[in-house]
Structure 1
Amino acid sequence: MMEIINFTPLSATLGGALIGLSAAFLLLVKGRVAGISGIFGGIVYPEKGDVSWRILFIAGLIIGGFIYQWLGAGVGVDHIEAVVGTPWLIAAGLLVGVGTTIGTGCTSGHGICGLARRSPRSLVATVTFMATAFVTVYIVRHLFTGGV
């Protein structure tokens, strides 16, 4: 049986609303979809005059987490730790990068922005992401670690 340890509906609702507002704002102001892989990719492979807002967006994501913790709202966040080693985390990160390139977007781009725009392609991508995540968790938890 699964036990929910940190049930936080208020902060989750507020966070979701803020993500939706920021995605809508970026689409209205810049005409861009708030897909994190695409935003980060534009920093790694920049186009002239199109980098500063991307850096600010990514910095806002990182700084926002620190502000949340500093305000005391992130109770319990300091107890999160990876259950695998650094090589596995690096490999997973690289696989995510390859997957977002092949899938032409990530969960934020397709799952939040694409679904909000009723994009059939984003629906297929999001269902694929989620199904792959379910299978991956099952394999890692039940086949590699013996049911941990």
Structure 2
Amino acid sequence: MSENRELTRQDFKHFLSIPTRWMDNDVYGHVNNVTYYSYFDTVVNEHLMRHAGLAPKTSKEIGLVVETKCKFLEELSFPETIDAGLRVSKLGNSSIIYEIGLFKQAKDNPSAIGHFVHVYVDNEDRRPVTIPQRVRKAVEPLLV
């Protein structure tokens, strides 16, 4: 992730509330680690659908996930609602690096920090392409 210090709620520019589900908990009583990646995917794609008109089945260009990372800091569990914070640490020619913070409601310190990289490709031949202007316009306000 992009900084040496721990990120806080104030470091993120867009938030989406996501309720945990009964099935998110594992036998240890907390949200299973793989579910955190689902939350990351949800906040990124929600933003792209709302602000860039993302339509995965029909868009000429799509973002493919090529790298993810998660730093777990505090357990999440059902039932609670988390606030997924989103920011962009790098906006390149064909790739975007997102950072995601998962926060318990009313807490300033994250329970997890994620890293999520999209590379834009042609939806048919999967060759890299320049990030479409509608996507660039949607993520520029998130750039730090």
The TM-score with structure 2 as length reference comes to: 0.23
Q: Which structure has the greater CA radius of gyration?
A: 1
More strand by proportion, 1 or 2?
2
Looking at secondary structure, tell me which structure has more helix per residue.
1
TM-score, structure 1 normalization = 0.22
Larger RCO: 1 or 2 (CA < 8 Å, sep 6+): 2
